Structure 1
Amino acid sequence: MSRARGQALIAALLLVTVLAAGALLANGDLRAHAEALAHARSLEALAQARSALIGYAISYEERHPGEGYGFLPCPDSGNDGSTPIGACGARGVAAIGRLPWRTLGLPDLRDGWGECLWYAVAGSAKHNPKPLTLNWDSPGQFELLTASADRLPVAAPDGRAIAVVFAPGRALDGQVRPPGRPFGCSGSDSAPADLAQYLDESYPPGATGPVQITQAALRPGEESAANDLTAWLGTDDVFDALRQRHDHAAYVDALIDRAAAALSARLNSGGEDWLAIHAARTGSLAIGMLPAAEALGIPAGERMQIDLWRDQMRFAACPDGDTCITVSRNDPPLVEHCRAALAFGGERQRSGPARQDRVTPAQRAELTQFFEGINATNLITGEPAFAGTARFATPDRDQPATADVIRCLP
């Protein structure tokens, strides 16, 4: 859904540019016509790059087993079209360089002026070093603005993009670009050294906070102090695309299964001492966030996938180990009796009176932003009763899967 909106925005810009080119040609303005066509070629290249980034993110686990989905490549820093070996900065910081077109399986994309594309990725989504958490609530880092400083729409929980692709356009006054090489992009083998010669702004290479990026106005034939064209993607673009995979629901459900099995084993072996460390007594229950995979005793090679999603999970346990918790099911109607329950919040509700926001630390501390009905209430009060589906499912792949999943640990 959000992927379609992003493609529609680029298509709309492309249509405006082509129509403008036709009007300019009719008026005999050949220079402006040529610029309009260059804009159109840039937008086509940007659309290709954006689509490839989404494809990379939603197939990451297939290329890197055990690491999960949603990661984006580090930029090309050496002007060879590939993501470099090793890290691109510290954990949590943004990285910027050229688009790694070889890594993405793309041809050598160029904008309408023959320049290679540039690319920035947020610290919350880059593949090396990986963030500690990556799921449908992960924040973005890039604020997209129009030339008049209005915010552009980004499909993300916080309205910020996790990746931006740049078509740098022709050199502006003060920019000196090395001549083109026989093969590959112009410029040196150092993206940081070349950055100011290609992009309009001096973007920080290791930003930890929000970064503002301005989209140039599409006015062919008119001189401008900025000419970068951009395409971007937000967290929702990636996870809405993942939801379209036929195996996505089973993948998430298997994560919940592994977490539930590990939690059950820890409750068996650790007893009240382990519970006292990882949960707080609330009402008649001990309640806490799912502990880190290491604390659950999960083998090292299997921890990453669980940790990426554990902020979506809370558990409640009967302190004395009896089966004091009831879990109600609707399909078919039944009641299970459990000594502990693992609750998985599902995707946030994005609109309406029940809208959920999980952006700020204060919002993420509110259980009502993750769970609905008696689940939110009783996780707050400690009442030993919950209700929800036993399995994660995506009944409508075009809509967020918001239903609470409740696993009963007998």
Structure 2
Amino acid sequence: MRRSTSSAFFVYQHGAALLIFMLFIFLVATSWILGQSGGTSARNQLDKATATTMAQAKEALIGRAATDANRPGSLTCPDVSNDGVADGVAGNCTSFIGRFPWKTLDLPELLDGNGERLWYALSPGLRDNPAAQPINPQKALELTLDGTTNIAAIIFSPGPPLANQNSRPSNAVADYLDGSNNDGDNTYVSGPPSATFNDKALAITRDDIFRNVNKRVLAEIRGPDAPGGPSYGLRRYYNDFGNFPWADSNNDGIADVGTSSGNLPYNDLELKALPPLPSIHLAVSERLAATGQLPAT
């Protein structure tokens, strides 16, 4: 009888120990899963904040290109001194890669999810300088991202420093951007995060820029529908003469009678403030020139 009681007690102890061990394993596994879930959630929040900030920067650059007073489509230089101000003289950029010039663009300081300021690469062909002319939708641009050509600009989130980036804060590109993104050429890459790469890149394509610039330029050509009468554009010409101008055949900005297809007569339209306009082709039917039927935009 005593042996039977002892055996039962042993079985009870063994079962209790097994239950405790299983409970311990369950708690460890649950803790690990919750930790992983919490880490993923935190990373997702950081990535979301970064994506929002980069989208703001992209929108600001496109808006700046569309509203530039003298060279629609041009972009501001990068900031190489980390003060938020674009660095360059009359559009001759100190460098075509640097930090995002948030002060120049009248924005609040834009930080990625890790608290780092954004970086910015500019295609030299879109700098705000007369030497960059012509600036138009057909112009071949220098930057590439992952093999895609005709990139106007790239916005970067540098992310936290990698093992070999131990000199932050600094103004050195290599302390922030990784791999071939810091080698000084016009070829850039993106990719999944790793121990040696954690840049996030957002491209602004040529089409992104000129989709908005073209609307602005065409609106300038048409002219305002002002209560006191339009001061420039096709509307002003029609208001003054009762018809629309012929095209310009010799690129002097003056309409040439009988020329139904040619350059825009920008001088006749009082559009001297928009240098890209002489490259715009104008096709005018005889009926349009004679009757002044204004096409819809």
Q: TM-score under structure 1 normalisation?
A: 0.49
Question: 2-side partners of 1:213 and 1:393: how far apart?
Answer: 41
Alignment of 1:5-404 (within 5 A): 28-29=35-36, 30-61=38-69, 67-87=70-90, 89=92, 95-128=96-129, 131-145=132-146, 151=147, 159-178=149-168, 186-187=169-170, 191=171, 194-200=172-178, 201-203=180-182, 205=184, 211-217=186-192, 223-243=194-214, 248-253=217-222, 260=248, 263=252, 305-306=274-275, 308-313=276-281, 328=285, 334=287, 394=297
Identity rate of aligned residues, in percent?
26
SS in 2 for 1:120: strand
Larger Rg: 2
Q: Which digits, 9 at most, give the CA deviation of each residue in 1:82-141, with x for residues without a partner?
A: 113515657xx9711110011112211111111110001111212146511112223332
Q: Work out whether residues 98 and 117 of structure 1, in 8 Å CA contact, stay in contact via their aligned partners in 2.
A: yes
Alignment of 1:399-410 (within 5 A): none
Q: Work out whether residues 118 and 167 of structure 1, in 8 Å CA contact, stay in contact via their aligned partners in 2.
A: yes
Question: 1-side partners of 2:112 and 2:176: how far apart?
Answer: 12
Question: 1-side partners of 2:135 and 2:80: how far apart?
Answer: 24
Q: Work out whether residues 255 and 305 of structure 1, in 8 Å CA contact, stay in contact via their aligned partners in 2.
A: no
Q: Work out whether residues 89 and 95 of structure 1, in 8 Å CA contact, stay in contact via their aligned partners in 2.
A: no
Question: Per the alignment, do residues 336 and 40 of structure 1 end up closer, same or farther by CA in structure 2, a change over 3 Å counting?
Answer: closer
How many angstroms does 1:51 deviate by?
0.9
Q: Work out whether residues 171 and 197 of structure 1, in 8 Å CA contact, stay in contact via their aligned partners in 2.
A: yes
Question: 2-side partners of 1:264 and 1:117: how far apart?
Answer: 43
SS in 1 for 2:274: helix
Q: Which digits, 9 at most, give the CA deviation of each residue in 1:160-214, with x for residues without a partner?
A: 2101110000111211233xxxxxxx42xxx4xx111111135455x5xxx2211
Question: 2-side partners of 1:242 and 1:265: how far apart?
Answer: 24
Question: 2-side partners of 1:163 and 1:118: how far apart?
Answer: 11
Q: Work out whether residues 92 and 127 of structure 2, in 8 Å CA contact, stay in contact via their aligned partners in 1.
A: no
SS in 1 for 2:132: coil
Question: 2-side partners of 1:128 and 1:312: how far apart?
Answer: 20
Question: 1-side partners of 2:211 and 2:122: how far apart?
Answer: 19
Q: TM-score under structure 2 normalisation?
A: 0.65
**Which amino acid counterpart does residue 78 of structure 1 have in structure 2?**
S
Structure of higher RCO (CA pairs closer than 8 Å, 6+ residues apart): 1
Question: 2-side partners of 1:86 and 1:197: how far apart?
Answer: 26
Higher helix proportion: 2
**Which amino acid counterpart does residue 71 of structure 1 have in structure 2?**
S
Unaligned runs of 5+ in 2: 1-31, 223-231, 238-244
Question: 2-side partners of 1:173 and 1:113: how far apart?
Answer: 16
Unaligned runs of 5+ in 1: 1-24, 62-66, 146-150, 153-158, 179-185, 269-284, 316-326, 338-388, 395-410
How many angstroms does 1:46 deviate by?
0.5
Question: Per the alignment, do residues 36 and 196 of structure 1 end up closer, same or farther by CA in structure 2, a change over 3 Å counting?
Answer: same
Q: Work out whether residues 77 and 88 of structure 2, in 8 Å CA contact, stay in contact via their aligned partners in 1.
A: no
Question: 1-side partners of 2:273 and 2:117: how far apart?
Answer: 34
Question: Per the alignment, do residues 266 and 313 of structure 1 end up closer, same or farther by CA in structure 2, a change over 3 Å counting?
Answer: closer
Q: Work out whether residues 168 and 229 of structure 1, in 8 Å CA contact, stay in contact via their aligned partners in 2.
A: yes
Q: Work out whether residues 86 and 128 of structure 1, in 8 Å CA contact, stay in contact via their aligned partners in 2.
A: no
Question: Per the alignment, do residues 244 and 213 of structure 1 end up closer, same or farther by CA in structure 2, a change over 3 Å counting?
Answer: same
Aligned length in residues: 241
